[in-house]
Amino acid sequence: MEFRLPPETSAWRDDLRAFLREELPEGLHGSDDFFDDSAQVPFAREFMRRVGDRNWLAPAWEKRYGGMGKGPIEQFVLNEELAYYRAPHGGRLFTIGITGPTINHHGTQEQKDRFLTRMASGQDWWCQGFSEPGAGSDLASLQTSAVRDGDDFVLNGQKIWSSNAHHADWMMVLARTDPDVPKHKGITALLVDMKSPGISLQPIDNIAGRHDFNQTFFDDVRVPAENMLGELNGGWYVAATTLDFERSNIAAISGARRTIHDLVCWAKACRAGHRPWDDPKVRHILSDLIVDAEVGRLLSYRTVWLQAQGQVPNAEASIGKVFMADLGMKVSNAGINLLGLHGQLAPDSAGAQLSGRVLTSYLLAMSGPIGGGTKEIQKGIIATRGLGLPRG
């Protein structure tokens, strides 16, 4: 693995950092997180457009679609810096990291021309309609139906855990178009305008009180047949393609690094006549976290380096995913204990330390080993594809 960025990429990263310091409130030392709640969405949309105006939002994409014509390394650098500076995500993972590359791989030229440029410019945000109440890990059991009617598909059913759907402009939906064939072979991928009549949303608040997830209901929603992505009944292969994109986990690792750096700064400040940093145990805890975060960063670099070589890092990406999930719990647990009773205060409480971010991370950390493929599934991939062990 090459540990150094190319000089041109390193120079671009410096420009990106300068841009982020200028554009984000209070820059590197900002005291606020920009979760995409309703009050922050206008800022998030404007910020994404500013990044898109520089053709930076999708650096790995072709220039004709609004990218820089670069590669996975530059996309990795962008994601790392945006996460570290706590930039608003604006559905970036599903838009740039997953849906855009999938459309580029499976879409018609008309679909590429229609959708990719608007994604790369920051104009359109996307979400994903895959999981259902009865189809999570066994996604092929999905029951949302799409029936052809003239020039349209008529969509009925529901999806769950639809991240950012309440702010998204479009959704990539998997629906059953043939119930009489084996379940993996009767699924079709559709690109659905979220403003279509018949779509309704029900928020799902998480344990931290944040509205990130939704249930999405489709009641006779008409989707133009030209919005079918890939072949009829070929949706399972489209879904499999999405798993090959945005696998480095660098955003999560970079976010953990930023939290650790914030905890170090907090510990070095004088509080009630003493500094927590003067306690050797505190220094040891934070030092261990710094080392772990750097290990996670290098695991992410390995994944993206393999992608840049044209390889598909299955086991390597799963190693990073497991490590990232464990690190998230370790950092938040250490932080909540280091901050003491003040660390248990909600973000909007007087006296909350570090804007209450550590508490939020602590509450959300347990979802890390579950979301995006459970820890058990990742270990299975590591065992079979990485170590060559037989399937159980």
The string of DSSP codes covering 167-232 is T-SEEEEEEES-TTS-GGGSEEEEEEETTSTTEEEEEEE-TTS-EEEEEEEEEEEEEEGGGEESST
27 or 37, which is more confident? 37
* Residues in contact with 176: Cβ distance below 8 Å, sequence separation at least 6, in sequence order: 142, 143, 144, 145, 146, 186, 187, 188
Q: pTM value?
A: 0.89
Q: Give per-residue pLDDT as tens, 139-178.
A: 999 999 999 999 999 999 999 999 999 999 999 999 999 9
The pair of structure tokens assigned to 71 is: 């590669």
Over residues 213-232, the mean pLDDT reads 97
- The whole-chain average pLDDT of the chain stands at 91
* Residue 244: per-residue pLDDT: 64
What angle in degrees, to the nearest 10, is found between the helix axes of 72-84 and 280-308?
A: 150
How is 289-333 classified by DSSP, letter by letter?
HHHHHHHHHHHHHHHHHHHHTT---HHHHHHHHHHHHHHHHHHHH
* Residue 26: per-residue pLDDT: 62
For residue 246, indicate whether it is catalytic.
yes
Is residue 300 predicted with pLDDT exceeding 50? yes
Domain ranges of the chain: 7-90, 127-233, 250-386
Lowest-pLDDT range of 104-118, 224-238, 371-385:
371-385
Q: Give per-residue pLDDT as tens, 308-362.
A: 898 888 899 999 999 999 999 999 999 999 999 988 898 888 888 998 889 999 9
Lowest-pLDDT range of 87-101, 157-171, 181-195:
87-101
* Residues in contact with 43: Cβ distance below 8 Å, sequence separation at least 6, in sequence order: 34, 88
* CATH superfamily, with its number, for domain 7-90: Acyl-CoA dehydrogenase/oxidase, N-terminal domain (1.10.540.10)
Q: For the chain, what is the radius of gyration of the CA atoms?
A: 22
Is residue 243 predicted with pLDDT exceeding 90? no
Lowest-pLDDT range of 4-13, 37-46, 209-218, 250-259:
37-46
Residue among 80, 373, 372 at smallest CA distance from 255: 80
Over residues 47-74, the mean pLDDT reads 95
Is residue 34 predicted with pLDDT exceeding 50? no
* Residue 10: per-residue pLDDT: 96
Over residues 361-366, the mean pLDDT reads 90
Highest mean pLDDT among 78-87, 226-235, 309-318, 350-359: 226-235
Over residues 82-100, the mean pLDDT reads 89
Lowest-pLDDT range of 107-116, 289-298, 364-373:
364-373
* Residue 88: per-residue pLDDT: 87
Dist. CA 3–CA 25, nearest whole Å: 32
* Residue 297: per-residue pLDDT: 94
Which letter does DSSP use for residue 391 in this model?
P
**Residue 183 burial by Cβ neighbours in a 10 Å radius (0-12, 13-18, 19+):** middle
Is residue 33 predicted with pLDDT exceeding 60? no
Tell me the three state secondary structure of residue 349: coil
* Residue 37: per-residue pLDDT: 54
CA 136 to chain centre: 18
* CATH superfamily, with its number, for domain 127-233: Butyryl-CoA Dehydrogenase, subunit A, domain 2 (2.40.110.10)
Is residue 371 predicted with pLDDT exceeding 70? yes
**Residue 190 burial by Cβ neighbours in a 10 Å radius (0-12, 13-18, 19+):** buried
* Residue 242: per-residue pLDDT: 80
* Residue 212: per-residue pLDDT: 87
Residue among 148, 245, 136 at smallest CA distance from 188: 148
Is residue 246 predicted with pLDDT exceeding 80? no
Residue among 234, 313, 243 at smallest CA distance from 97: 243
Q: Give per-residue pLDDT as tens, 192-206.
A: 999 999 999 999 998
Considering the domain 250-386, what is its CATH architecture? Up-down Bundle (1.20)
Residue among 103, 108, 119, 130 at smallest CA distance from 226: 108
How does residue 27 score in pLDDT terms, banded at 50, 70 and 90? Answer: very low
User: Is residue 65 within 8 Å of 55, Cβ to Cβ?
Assistant: no
Dist. CA 242–CA 362, nearest whole Å: 29
Selected catalytic residue, list 46, 246, 294, 376: 246
Beta strands in the chain (DSSP E): 126-129, 145-149, 152-159, 170-176, 187-193, 199-205, 211-224, 228-229
